[in-house]
């Protein structure tokens, strides 16, 4: 079952619930769009099933909000997106896989060409068809993943064998350290991008992801490509998160039990009860995107859930299907078998959980809730 399709079972059969706020996602796009001026288009990165929130629901909501250009990662994502949005411009960030150009044409997709081999294949296709098909060209400004080198780009721009049959619809690069706005790499990449693309002022340009948008107009150019911020994630490490939360994960309490002081909890006996505790075991685990690295032990604290505004720390290791929470200090009237505990959402930010798990909120969002009931509704 695709995680973005309506869930087919009664609510009470699920171990938890994933609620996604489409209006909040649209509001986040509008907020980011407002950060740019009239000459800059605000697109949307919608890869990984819209960062785990459900592409089939999110894409139409963003299009209704005014977004017209979308970025997928791989061709299969883009083909599904085309079925949803027949009139959108759709780029494929991972470029042109060998022998797939005809599929791009069939579905009116634009590859982001990041190597001489990809450029040659696309150019040959256009030459054979006698028609120019749009594509983006990716230049590397320092992240050393995809993209042409500065020398390759300069050569390509003057080589009719490459760009004679078609003209790039976009020239783009990607920031390596955008989440740390004071990092010197950001200014270095901006300067490199300006230098590399100066000979092609007529081609639209794109450098900014979510962080780049929030770093100001120097990074905006002609098109910005927000991703994590659309889905409520924290784009800048050193600033408060201005985005609306868009998802809430709630896990069902299966059992409440007392644990004597000195007894251990969970696999590996890594957590010892420092006092008599009351525990709640909830039906969520790392198979549901609750990352095991956020476990607690005697040597380090783990993540937490929230019950009626009260913090419930994780106790011991997160297992595949369940998590144990310390509910000793939660009012008893909030605790009941079958009750739902917020494990991520407005009161438990993904970025906070990510800090405990020594990762980033992207990993939480893209891993969430494949076994949960999925609901599309306002969070507030």
Catalytic residue set: 47, 267
Query: By three-state DSSP, how is residue 253 classified?
Result: strand
Whole-number Cα distances in Å, 257 to 49, 205, 291: 38, 59, 24
Task: Return the H-helix or E-strand segment holding 9.
Answer: none
Q: Are 253 and 308 within 8 A, CB to CB?
A: no
Q: Are 297 and 270 within 8 A, CB to CB?
A: yes
Helices (H) and strands (E) in the chain, counts: 12, 19
Q: Closest Cα partner for 352 from 313, 380, 297? A: 313
Q: Closest Cα partner for 174 from 200, 208, 205? A: 208
Strand partners, 90: 70
Whole-number Cα distances in Å, 196 to 138, 142, 154, 175: 11, 12, 7, 15
Query: By three-state DSSP, how is residue 101 classified?
Result: helix
Q: Closest Cα partner for 349 from 180, 214, 233? A: 233
Which position has the token pair 């990993």? 363
Q: Closest Cα partner for 178 from 144, 212, 205, 146? A: 212
């Amino acid at each position: 079952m695709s995680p973005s399709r309506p869930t087919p079972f009664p609510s009470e059969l699920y171990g938890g619930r994933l609620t996604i706020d489409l209006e909040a996602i649209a509001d986040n796009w509008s907020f980011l769009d407002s950060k740019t001026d009239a000459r800059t288009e605000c697109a949307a990165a919608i890869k990984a099933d819209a960062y785990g929130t459900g592409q089939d629901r999110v894409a139409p909501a963003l299009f209704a909000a005014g977004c017209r250009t979308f970025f997928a990662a791989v061709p299969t994502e883009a083909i599904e997106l085309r079925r949803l949005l027949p009139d959108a411009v759709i780029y494929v960030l991972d470029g042109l896989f060998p022998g797939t150009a005809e599929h791009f044409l069939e579905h009116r997709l634009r590859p982001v060409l990041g190597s001489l081999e990809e450029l040659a294949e696309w150019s040959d296709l256009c030459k054979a068809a006698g028609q120019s098909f749009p594509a983006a060209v990716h230049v590397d400004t320092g992240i050393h993943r995809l993209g042409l080198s500065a020398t390759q780009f300069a050569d390509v721009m003057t080589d009719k064998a490459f760009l004679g049959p078609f003209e790039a619809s976009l020239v783009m690069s990607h920031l390596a350290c955008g989440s740390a706005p004071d990092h010197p790499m950001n200014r270095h990449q901006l300067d490199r991008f300006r230098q590399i693309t100066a000979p092609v002022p007529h081609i639209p340009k794109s450098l900014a992801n979510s962080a780049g948008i929030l770093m100001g107009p120097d990074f905006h150019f002609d098109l910005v490509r927000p991703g994590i911020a659309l889905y409520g994630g924290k784009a800048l490490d050193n600033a408060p998160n201005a985005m609306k939360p868009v998802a809430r994960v709630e896990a069902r309490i299966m059992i409440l039990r007392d644990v004597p002081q000195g007894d251990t909890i969970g696999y590996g006996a890594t957590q010892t009860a420092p006092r008599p505790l009351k525990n709640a075991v909830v039906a969520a685990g790392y198979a549901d995107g609750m990352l095991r690295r956020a476990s607690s032990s005697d040597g380090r604290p783990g993540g937490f859930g929230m019950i009626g505004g009260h913090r419930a720390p994780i106790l011991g290791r997160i297992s595949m299907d369940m998590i144990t929470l310390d509910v000793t200090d939660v009012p008893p009237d909030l605790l009941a078998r079958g009750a739902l505990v917020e494990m991520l959402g407005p009161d438990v930010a993904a970025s906070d959980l990510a800090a405990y798990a020594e990762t980033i909120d992207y990993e939480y969002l893209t891993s969430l809730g494949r076994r949960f009931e999925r609901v599309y509704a306002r969070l507030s």
